Structure 1
């Protein structure tokens, strides 16, 4: 897998993307499958990246962690385990929550403001809708894709 630093030509937002190869990145871009997570624009391009060079940890510092505890890189095994845990969380939400489809943002607001029964919900929302929810103090998190979604 290759990690590219990406940039949206439309809004300037920077983000990362993982691809099997450079050709995979090009093919996804040509098919308009790449979108900015902020504005949902398809003007996604590779950004200038510095090379990833592993250095020996300083004495007393955990490898892979920067000051303040932010992870700068993680071994594949740890990242894979974290992703597995996120997928387990997504399965739990889907099994125990109520699917509300494209009306997610509206239903989340109704629950937050006491206009609907309080319950765990999931569904679809645009980046703009999620930003609006967060600005109102309403928690909304993206669920990772699951392998079974491809069947």
Structure 2
């Protein structure tokens, strides 16, 4: 797995994981890499710093050891990271990301996730073959277009499904 820092044509920055560098290239050429904030398909890799692991004597996450340089001020000429970006990688950095995160929370609390069965369940509810309820799930673009053409009230969400890893 490889993580890339990405940037869309609108200036939104976000990270995404890919199976390999070749997998990213293949998805990007096919137009399947899109901005996590605005959905733009004009996405490119942003400049990234390599991930460097600290030595064995550096401060660990539980504070077991201390690096001899830990108390020394940094002579680096790099600017300090803004306070809002420090901490968890999944914390939203902009107002738009916060709004999308809040929307995700409301959708997940007030509807049932039906996964790839979304199209058949939405159509069944529209035809009266299944009881009406709030659902969200996954549909290919051509399936969503077919639902809309048939008068089924659907709306694309600005986020993908929450997937569990491992």
TM-score (norm 2): 0.44
Q: Answer 1 or 2: which has greater helix percent.
A: 1
Q: TM-score, normalised by structure 1?
A: 0.48
